[in-house]
Amino acid sequence: MNKILVPTDFSEQAENALKVATQLAKKHNCEIHLLHILDLPMHQIDPVNATSFSSGPEALFFMKLAKKRFDDLLNKDYLKGLTVFSTVDFHEIYSGISDQCEKHDIDLIVMGSNGSSGIEEILIGSNTEKVVRNSEVPVLVIKKEHENFEINNFVFASDFTEENQSAYKKALKFTELWQAKMHLLLVNTPNKFVTTKEANARIEKFTSTLKPGNQTVNIYNDDTIEKGIINFSYAIDADLIGMSTHGRKGISNFFNGSISEDLVNHANRPVLTFKL
C-alpha cells in the first residue's frame, strides 16, 4: 500500500477518516491524496482553466473557500511529516473519486460517514453508498474518531462461493499488512440455511488453494445476514468488517440486495469493501 485517497467535505466525519488515513500512512509510509469535489453546473466552469469561470460568482466563491479550507487543514499537527497532495475538482462525486484513483494509482480510499443519522453532508448517505458499490479500489468507511486505529480482529463475511475469491485475496493482503487475525464468517438465516457440515465444507474448499494464515472459521445463526455480521463482530470485539460487492451488477446473492450499503450505514465499526 503506497497511496491513500481521502475525499473530504471538511466535515467532522471526513476529518475522522483523514485521521485514520494519517495513522495508516505513518505506519506504512504512504502518500495521502486529499480530494474535495465541487459539484457545480458545468456551464459555470472554464474547462481549460479551473480557476476561471464563464459565469456564476458562486462558483468562484466556493473555489476560494475550498482552497482556504485546504490551507487550514494542511496545517493540522497530525499531518506533519507526511506527504500530502490536495486537489479541488469539478465533477460528479463518484466520477471524480474514480478519476483520481486511476490518475494516481490509489491503493485505498478512506472516507467518513455518520451513517443513518441523516445529516446532509457531501460524503454521507447515497454518495458513500455509491462509492462503496462501484469503486474498483478497496473502500474503508470510518464512522467515528479513532485515536489509535489498530486492526487486530478482522471479520470477513461471505457466502464463500468461488466468485468471492478475488475479494478474499484482497482482504488477505490487508490482513497481512496489518498483521491482523481474520475471522471468516458465514451467517446462517432461516431463508438461507445450510448445515454446519455443508458450511464448513464450503469454506474449506474456498480457502484450500490460498494457504491462509492466522484465521478462524465461524458459522453464525441470526435472523438476517446484516444482523448476523453486526452481532458476531460485536461478540468478538472486531476492529473491522470486510465484504465484497458486485458494483453495478448488484451485491453478491449472499448479501441479499444492499447489505454492503446497509452495513456502511448501520455498523458502528469500520467497514472495508472490495469490488469483485
pLDDT along the chain (276 residues), means of 10: 94 93 96 86 49 55 82 91 89 84 96 62 58 89 93 95 90 92 95 91 89 86 94 96 72 51 82 90
Residue 175 pLDDT: 93
- What residue segments make up the domains of the chain, in order of their start? 3-142, 153-275
**How far, in Å, CA of 111 to CA of 240, rounded?**
14
Residue 186 pLDDT: 96
**Beta strands 84-90 and 240-245, pairing class:** unpaired
The pTM of the full predicted model, rounded to 2 decimals, is: 0.86
| Domain 3-142 shares a fold with domain 153-275 | yes
**How far, in Å, CA of 186 to CA of 169, rounded?**
17
**Beta strands 240-245 and 31-38, pairing class:** unpaired
**How far, in Å, CA of 214 to CA of 210, rounded?**
12
Report, at the CATH architecture level, how domain 3-142 is classified: 3-Layer(aba) Sandwich (3.40)
Amino acid making up residue 220: Y
Find out whether 141 and 128 touch, Cβ atoms under 8 Å. yes
Tell me the CATH class for 153-275.
alpha beta
Residue 261 pLDDT: 73
Residue 115 pLDDT: 60
- Terminal-to-terminal C-alpha distance of the chain: 19
**How far, in Å, CA of 47 to CA of 31, rounded?**
28
